[in-house]
Amino acid sequence: MKTVAFVPIKLNSERLPLKNIKPFTNGKPLISYILSTLSKTHGIDEIYVYCSDERIKDYLPEGILFLKRDPYYDLSTTSFNEVLSSFAKLVKADVYVLPLATAPFMTAQSIEKGVEAVVSGKYESAHSVAMLKEFLWKDGKPLNYTLDSIPRTQDLPDIYTETCGLYVYTSDLILNKGRRISDNPFLIEVNKIEACDINDDDDFVIADAIFNSKFKTE
């Protein structure tokens, strides 16, 4: 069974241009961290970066493969699942591992949990989630508690948020169903640091602070 990991990269990000190669203070370009983690992860046969801009090759360590994608897949009108399907049509594998550069603190252990779950055949997909213990509201009303009986935060119902940092899925799921998440996925619970996802300037500031507090010696 062949397992391929790939990191899709778009340098022309609309909310934070060039974020995937933006360095942390006292650190390396953002993409360096997930590629380093993948290189230490067991159970992966090949690692690719999938990008339309060949400048990204200057940031790839030895052993990481580059695959150029059509600029069509950089368009805001292109769905992300289209990007994933296009890669699967070009690089054949049984299982695909999709970690994002914008989740730099995802660990090899979490990735391995997802790979093991899908390779076992028990699940078609796995993805990272974080438990959300917060008071949630919608349409002017509380969603997960009542105003007559306000619970302690730790007693709120277990609700999970998709962190958008890691997905693992079979080739059948993406190529025949056009999806990265199955009907009954394996949930990889991660902590708040692993759940960090960088989309804009504020997110980068927070991630930079985490890096310099916990990881800058790595």
Residue 14: pLDDT band (50, 70, 90) is: confident
So what's the pLDDT on residue 217? 59
Strands 159-170 and 125-132: antiparallel
Assessment of whether the complete model's pTM goes beyond 0.85: yes
Question: For a pLDDT cut of 90, what percent of the chain falls above it?
Answer: 92
Q: What is the pLDDT of residues 24-64, one digit of tens each?
A: 999 999 999 999 999 999 999 999 999 999 999 999 999 99
Class level of CATH domain 3-215: alpha beta
- Whole-angstrom CA distances from 106 to 78, 94, 102, 139, 190 are 26, 23, 10, 34, 8
Domain boundaries, the chain: 3-215
State residue 173 phi and psi, 5-degree precision. -65, -45
